[in-house]
Amino acid sequence: MKLAQIRPYLFPAARFAGRLSLAGTQILVIVLLAWLALWFFPGDRWLFIRLGSYFVPWLLMILFPALLVALMGRRYWLAGFTVLLILVLGVPYVPVFTPQLPLVWAQDKPGELRVMTFNVNYTNRNATDIADLIRAEKPDIIAFQEITGPLQASLLPELAPDYPYYLVNDWGLPLVLVSRYPLLKHADLIEAPHAQLATAATPYGAVAIWNVHPCPAVRQTGWEAQRQALVAIAAAIEKETGPLIVLGDFNTTDRAENYYLMADRMTDVHHAVGRGFGFTYPEPDVLARLPFYTKPLELISPVVRIDHVFVSKHFTSQETHVVPGGYGSDHRPVVATLGFKS
Strands (DSSP E) contained in 188-282 are: 195-202, 205-212, 244-249, 267-268
Q: Is the dihedral of CA 176, 321, 338, 139 positive or negative?
A: positive
| Per-residue b or e along 37-59, where b marks 16 or more CB atoms closer than 10 Å to that residue's CB | ebbeeeebeeeebbebbbebbeb
Do residues 249 and 116 make contact, with C-beta atoms less than 8 angstroms apart?
no
Q: Is the pLDDT of residue 289 over 80?
A: no
Res. 190 pLDDT band, cuts 50 70 90: low
Edge-first strand order for the sheet with 334-340 is 165-169, 175-179, 141-145, 112-119, 334-340, 315-322
CB atoms within 10 A of CB 215: 20
What is the model's pLDDT at position 194?
85
**Quick one: average pLDDT of 304-333?**
96
Nearest one of 156, 120, 164 to 140, comparing CA atoms = 164
Average pLDDT along the chain: 90
What is the model's pLDDT at position 294?
60
Res. 292 pLDDT band, cuts 50 70 90: low
CB atoms within 10 A of CB 146: 22
| Domains, the chain | 3-96 (no CATH), 106-340 (3.60.10.10)
47-54 and 3-40 helices cross at what angle (nearest 10)?
110
- How confident is the model over 16-60, as pLDDT tens digits? 788 899 999 999 999 999 999 999 889 999 999 999 999 999 999
Distance of CA 106 to the CA centre of its chain: 30
Overall pTM > 0.85 = yes
- How confident is the model over 250-275, as pLDDT tens digits? 999 999 999 999 999 999 999 999 99
What is the model's pLDDT at position 107?
47
What is the model's pLDDT at position 4?
59
